[in-house]
Amino acid sequence: MKVSTVPQNQTAFRTSAPICRLPKNSIRNTICQKPSESRRSGRGSLHCMSAAAVGIEKEEMLSSTPDSLLRERSAESEGIRGRFERIIRDAQNKICAAVEEEDGEGKFREDAWARPGGGGGVSRVMQGGKVWEKAGVGVSVVYGTMPPEAYRAAKGHTNTPNGASNGASGGVPFFAAGISSVMHPHNPFAPTMHFNYRYFETEEWNGIPGQWWFGGGTDITPSYINEEDLRHFHGTYKRVCDNHDPSYYPKFKKWADDYFLCKHRNQRRGLGGIFFDDLNDRPQDEILAFSTEALGAVTESYLPLVNKHKNDPFTEKNKEWQQMRRGLYVEYNLVYDRGTTFGLKTAGRIESILMSLPLTARWEYCPPIDPTSPEAELVEACTNPREWA
């Protein structure tokens, strides 16, 4: 039997409601002004404010998408900041166009927003498409100051920066630009994919020297193992890595396997890919070139797999398993993901931060798994990572 929804007699949870559509009496007390014209035309505006967030800086929704999210300083636009922004804005356009073409029906909603402390972003989300249940591609360029605990979230450090424990006041001056995406298909045999590429700077603060680094990666989360798919995906990124440094792929593949470990489950979120962070061991231009090529390989590595499996027949059991794997995806993103925790600690735009969550997910109490089943094969591969390229 082929199905396309979660069975009515089973429990599933919507993890992301439509943006700002809550009743007037809602405990969030969200106030919304709907766009006067189509968001896709770039006109109109949407203003949302949660009463619970009045005490923090709240993003301002923009009526049109700006050409640049940088400060109006020529040095910034011509330097590494401007180059990286142009790369990620161009990638957002190309990837969204390719995904819409593959889906055939779904369209991305676009929201542009400004951060009062500096910068802003462009979020594009498709919900309820023909192929993808939910897909999001977000770009952000933000700057200002951040508390030391947000610095630790960005760097993945557990120690306090020098000066923060000596009564130093104020926040750490920073600049961060990045593109992030997660795509959740309807079909359980079509994998979920995530990518994130970012550039980060801090300025001198209380005796701490300024720093810069790149981070990012692309990874895949199937519900069922297809070895040909995994060889294609990992092989694509091994080739990208080898073009820049033969040591990159084995190092970044292991880094992904370690980083995406959901510790309380002792399982990886998926079947990996590449991941790197705090990368500043060679000239900026060299790392920028690598990040650009890796970002450019997203559609080549992923869309052929979706095209291959989007019409595969599947059963209720297959769909339930996909929903349970998405439950683990939610757990990982809210507990361990560095970008999510950084966004929450810096009062970022909540809809953009949680864009990565699937539209639906499922949690069962002690679900039985046949040790000879394809489901058990996936769990084994997520517990003990394998080599695919």
pLDDT, residue 144, reads 86
What is the average per-residue pLDDT within 166-192? 87
pLDDT, residue 52, reads 26
What is the average per-residue pLDDT within 9-33? 36
pLDDT tens-digit readout, 88-117: 999 999 999 999 999 999 999 999 999 888
What is the average per-residue pLDDT within 73-88? 84
pTM of the model: 0.81
What is the average per-residue pLDDT within 40-61? 42
Are residues 213 and 156 in contact, defined by beta-carbon separation less than 8 angstroms?
no
Neighbours of 22 (CB within 10 A): 17
Query: At 29, is the pLDDT very low, low, confident or very high (cuts 50, 70, 90)?
Result: very low
Pairing label, strands 47-49, 273-279: unpaired
Angle at alpha carbon of residue 154, lines to 172 and 326, rounded to 5°: 150
Instruction: Give one DSSP letter per residue of 213-266, joined into a string.
Output: EEEEEEEEE-SS--HHHHHHHHHHHHHHHHTT-TTHHHHHHHHHHHHTEETTTT
Query: At 350, is the pLDDT very low, low, confident or very high (cuts 50, 70, 90)?
Result: confident
Residue 332 amino acid letter: Y
Are residues 93 and 140 in contact, defined by beta-carbon separation less than 8 angstroms?
no
In the chain, % of residues over pLDDT 90: 65
Query: At 42, is the pLDDT very low, low, confident or very high (cuts 50, 70, 90)?
Result: very low
pLDDT, residue 16, reads 40
pLDDT, residue 11, reads 41
Angle at alpha carbon of residue 210, lines to 208 and 214, rounded to 5°: 130
Residue 150 has pLDDT above 80, yes or no: no
Contacts with 357 (C-beta within 8 Å, 6 or more apart), sequence order: 15, 16, 182, 329, 330, 333
Residue 128 has pLDDT above 90, yes or no: yes
Query: At 172, is the pLDDT very low, low, confident or very high (cuts 50, 70, 90)?
Result: confident
Question: Which of 45-54, 164-173, 277-286 has the largest mean confidence?
Answer: 277-286
pLDDT, residue 77, reads 67
Sheet holding 132-146, edge to edge: 60-61, 109-114, 119-127, 132-146, 172-185, 192-202, 211-221, 273-279
Residue 45 has pLDDT above 90, yes or no: no
pLDDT tens-digit readout, 231-266: 999 999 999 999 999 999 999 999 999 999 999 999
Q: How much is the mean pLDDT over the chain?
A: 83
CA distance 110 to 125: 7
pLDDT, residue 242, reads 99
| All structural domains of the chain with their residue ranges | 67-364
Q: Given CATH 1.20.120.720, say whether it is the number of domain 67-364.
A: no
Which pair of structure tokens corresponds to residue 51? 């009463």
pLDDT tens-digit readout, 218-227: 999 999 999 9
Residue 57 has pLDDT above 70, yes or no: no
Active site residues: 194
